[in-house]
């Protein structure tokens, strides 16, 4: 992409261009961080207001039934199921990614005494931390793997799209290797769901977790999801046995009896307001072609890389199949990113030296990418990053 005109021509030919109108992004912002926190859809904002001001305020406790809050975790789960090639009943929205990894890993080890827990040493940190907790609780050893390695007799966590490299793994191939080595893979779909076509069923993948606040646009800290294939769920006892995962929570029985299927992976009462925002955001994906999303995200990223090729920044090694973001290495990356953000071009930074740019295909245009590339060139040529004030506080960026 060598000119604004070329960018505009690409936009004119973009089959997804109408979706941008479903969002209401602030003026003066080019948002390249939808892979970290998706922006709200108009519908999600409307629905959240209605949930608070009508369902909570007027309906009060009655809304658990009348507004069907009680089934939200399943309803939202069924919407996500369509995006990952799962049966509607096999996905449940609940808790956080960290907590859901703990549930799945612990329950699988309980089923398989003697198996080890395993994770790539470069995997997203909270996945590793959650496994540390599961290892301590179950007594199973936790081993760190080289990227892509598959051990014998293990329960392992693996991201379908890596949070740094954006590499998209071949799920079916990984499952074949895992099967031959007696491994169960728990897929981390955080950077994949809502961006990449996924077919858990066809790949023979039986376990997954994922988050609601990246490409699904479910809102800050939106609840996460868990997927467990039907034939597995009823053989598993997850450790966070709370009343929402009980077969009959309103019988108030003293003994825990898990619900049928993935529903047993619920624990306590879900955060309804956050859950409703996610549930509404998911409606945007109704009828969307996920292949088109992946294709456009890739094209946006390629255009960005072309725009910034001559700026002296080092792109991370390009994977053959890449998800929704690209990373550029720079020793002063944090300051450069702060200068970009001060200009309204919002990406994020991953220690120690990666500037990460996300290309969420539902609201970004090629013109946005062109302008972002120009902004980065300006920030570098003017050296304004040396003069930008920035916070050194902890960041979820």
For residue 54, the 8-state DSSP code is: I
Choose, from 103, 206, 214, 298, the residue flagged as catalytic.
214
18 touches 30 (CB < 8 A): no
Site for its own copies in 12-71 (CB under 8 A): 24-26, 29, 31, 33, 36-37, 39-40, 45, 48-49, 52-53, 56-58, 60-65, 69-70
Rounded distance, CA 331 to CA 311, Å? Answer: 14
Chain centroid to Cα 197, Å, comes to: 13
By C-beta, is 31 or 285 nearer to its own copies? 31
Rounded distance, CA 374 to CA 205, Å? Answer: 42
Choose, from 213, 227, 359, 363, the residue flagged as catalytic.
213
Rounded distance, CA 251 to CA 372, Å? Answer: 57
By C-beta, is 84 or 222 nearer to its own copies? 222
Contact pattern for its own copies over residues 217 through 236, marking x by CB under 8 A = --xxxxxx------------
- Tell me the CA distances in angstroms from 13 to 7, 30, 296, 319, 353, one per residue in order: 10, 20, 11, 26, 35
170 touches 163 (CB < 8 A): no
Give the total of residues touching its own copies (CB under 8 A): 94
Q: What is the residue-wise DSSP string for 277-293?
A: HHHHHHGGGTT--HHHH
* Residue range at the interface with its own copies (CB under 8 A); choices 80-88, 148-156, 270-278, 305-313: 270-278
> Mapped to the 3 state alphabet, what secondary structure does 163-199 carry?
CCCCEECCHHHHHHHHHHCCCEEEEECCCCCCCCCCC
Contact pattern for its own copies over residues 286 through 325, marking x by CB under 8 A = ----------------------------------------
353 touches 329 (CB < 8 A): yes
Choose, from 356, 357, 363, 366, the residue flagged as catalytic.
356
Minimum CB separation from its own copies for residue 351, in Å? 5
Question: Does residue 124 sit in helix, strand or coil?
Answer: coil
Site for its own copies in 88-147 (CB under 8 A): 95-99, 102, 106, 110, 121, 125-126, 128-130, 132-134, 136-138, 144
In degrees rounded to 5, what are phi and psi of residue 350?
-120, 120
Site for its own copies in 187-216 (CB under 8 A): 211, 213
Q: Rounded to 5 degrees, what angle do the CA atoms 197, 273, 88 make?
A: 35
Q: What is the residue-wise DSSP string for 57-82?
A: IIIGGGHHHHT-GGGHHHHHHHHHHH
Active site residue 213: yes
Minimum CB separation from its own copies for residue 108, in Å? 13
Contact pattern for its own copies over residues 155 through 184, marking x by CB under 8 A = ------------------------------
Quick check: 152 binds its own copies (CB under 8 A)?
no
For residue 17, the 8-state DSSP code is: G
252 contacts: CB under 8 Å, gap ≥ 6: none
Active site residue 163: no
By C-beta, is 62 or 309 nearer to its own copies? 62
Active site residue 188: yes
Quick check: 329 binds its own copies (CB under 8 A)?
no
By C-beta, is 75 or 321 nearer to its own copies? 75
Structure tokens at 350: 């991953």
Active site residue 356: yes
Minimum CB separation from its own copies for residue 253, in Å? 6
Choose, from 95, 120, 184, 188, the residue flagged as catalytic.
188
Minimum CB separation from its own copies for residue 382, in Å? 22
Minimum CB separation from its own copies for residue 112, in Å? 15
Question: Does residue 238 sit in helix, strand or coil?
Answer: coil
Rounded distance, CA 313 to CA 376, Å? Answer: 10
Minimum CB separation from its own copies for residue 318, in Å? 22
Minimum CB separation from its own copies for residue 289, in Å? 26
For its own copies, the binding residue among 242, 319, 332, 367 (CB under 8 A) is 242
Active site residues: 124, 188, 213-214, 356
């Amino acid at each position: 992409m060598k000119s604004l005109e070329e960018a505009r021509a690409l936009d004119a030919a973009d089959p997804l261009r109408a979706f941008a109108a479903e969002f209401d992004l602030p003026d003066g912002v080019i948002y390249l961080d939808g892979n970290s926190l998706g922006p709200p859809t108009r519908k999600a904002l409307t629905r959240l207001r209605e949930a608070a001001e009508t369902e909570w305020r007027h309906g009060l406790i009655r809304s658990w039934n009348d507004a069907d809050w009680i089934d939200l975790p399943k309803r939202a789960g069924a919407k996500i199921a369509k995006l990952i090639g799962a049966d509607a009943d096999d996905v449940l929205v609940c808790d956080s990614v960290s907590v859901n990894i703990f549930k799945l890993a612990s329950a699988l080890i309980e089923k398989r005494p003697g198996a080890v827990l395993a994770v790539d040493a470069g995997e997203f940190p909270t996945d590793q931390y959650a496994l540390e907790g599961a290892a301590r609780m179950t007594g199973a050893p936790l081993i760190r793997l080289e990227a892509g390695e598959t051990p014998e007799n293990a329960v392992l966590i693996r991201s379908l799209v890596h949070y740094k490299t954006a590499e998209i793994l071949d799920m079916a191939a990984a499952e074949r290797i895992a099967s031959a080595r007696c491994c169960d893979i728990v897929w981390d779909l955080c950077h994949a769901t809502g961006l990449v076509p996924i077919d858990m069923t066809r790949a023979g993948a039986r376990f997954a977790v994922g988050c609601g606040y990246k490409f699904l646009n479910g809102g800050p800290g939106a609840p996460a999801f868990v997927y467990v294939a039907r034939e597995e769920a009823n053989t598993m006892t997850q450790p966070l046995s709370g009343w929402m995962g009980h077969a009959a929570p309103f019988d108030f029985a003293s003994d825990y009896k898990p619900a049928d299927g993935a529903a047993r992976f619920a624990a306590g009462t879900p955060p309804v307001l956050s859950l409703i925002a996610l549930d509404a955001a998911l409606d945007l994906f109704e009828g969307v072609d996920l292949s088109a999303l992946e294709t456009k995200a890739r094209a946006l990223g390629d255009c960005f890389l072309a725009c910034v090729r001559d700026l002296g920044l080092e792109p991370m090694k390009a994977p053959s199949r890449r998800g929704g973001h690209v990373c550029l290495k720079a020793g002063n990356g944090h300051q450069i990113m702060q200068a970009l953000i001060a200009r309204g071009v919002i990406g994020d930074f991953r220690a120690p030296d990666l500037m990460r740019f996300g290309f969420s295909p539902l609201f970004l245009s090629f013109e946005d990418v062109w302008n972002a590339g120009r902004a980065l060139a300006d920030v570098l040529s003017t050296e304004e990053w040396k003069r930008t004030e920035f916070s050194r506080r902890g960041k979820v960026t």
